[in-house]
Amino acid sequence: MATILVVDDAAFMRMRCAKLLKDNGHDVIEAENGAQALKVYQEVKPHAVLLDITMPEMDGLAALKALKQIDPNAKVAMVTAMGQQAMVMDALKSGAKDFVLKPFDSDRVLNAVNKLLTR
Ligand SMILES: [Mg+2]
């Protein structure tokens, strides 16, 4: 059992992710943009983060870079739409461990989270 921070500006995505992770025994906290994610991360120190790329306020890439400065060991997987390969490459170079392509696939999300937790 781990605490996972789910960051997405779409409430529907957060809800689906949260339900999936809770059904698999995890605790979930949510944030709706990068700025909020940084704040929550420092308060809660989650074991892993699922981070959407496209968000208002602060996008996932900026949030990833800031998170890694706060905690170089932060375990982050990016959640990405089609056509964001350049951003994904940048994210992987910036310390993201994995990425999950939308549309949402339960097995892929769980697999990514399990990978983050076992590293
Ligand atoms: Mg988004």
53 alpha carbon to ligand 1 midpoint, in Å?
6
Give yes or no for residue 119 having a pLDDT over 80. Answer: no
- Give the Å distance between the CA of 55 and the centre of ligand 1: 5
What's the confidence (pLDDT) of residue 72?
A: 97
Q: What's the structural domain count of the chain?
A: 1
pLDDT of the residue at 111: 95
Q: How far is the CA of 60 from the centre of ligand 1 (A)?
A: 9
From ligand 1's centre to the CA of 62, what distance in Å? 13
Pick from 99, 110, 107: nearest CA to 25:
110
- Residue 29, helix vs strand vs coil: strand
Task: Name the strand (E) or helix (H) holding 94.
Answer: none
Give the CATH number, domain containing residue 104.
Answer: 3.40.50.2300
Does the pTM of the predicted model rise above 0.75?
A: yes
* Three-state DSSP state, 54: coil
- Report the separation in Å between the CA atom of 87 and the middle of ligand 1, taken as the mean of its atom positions: 13
Tokens linked to 100 = 């999950």
Is residue 1 scored above 90 in pLDDT? Answer: no
pLDDT digits (tens, 9 = 90+) for 49-90: 999 999 999 999 999 999 999 999 999 999 998 888 999 999
Domain residues for 57? 3-117
Mean pLDDT of 12-16: 95
Q: What is the pLDDT of residue 103?
A: 86
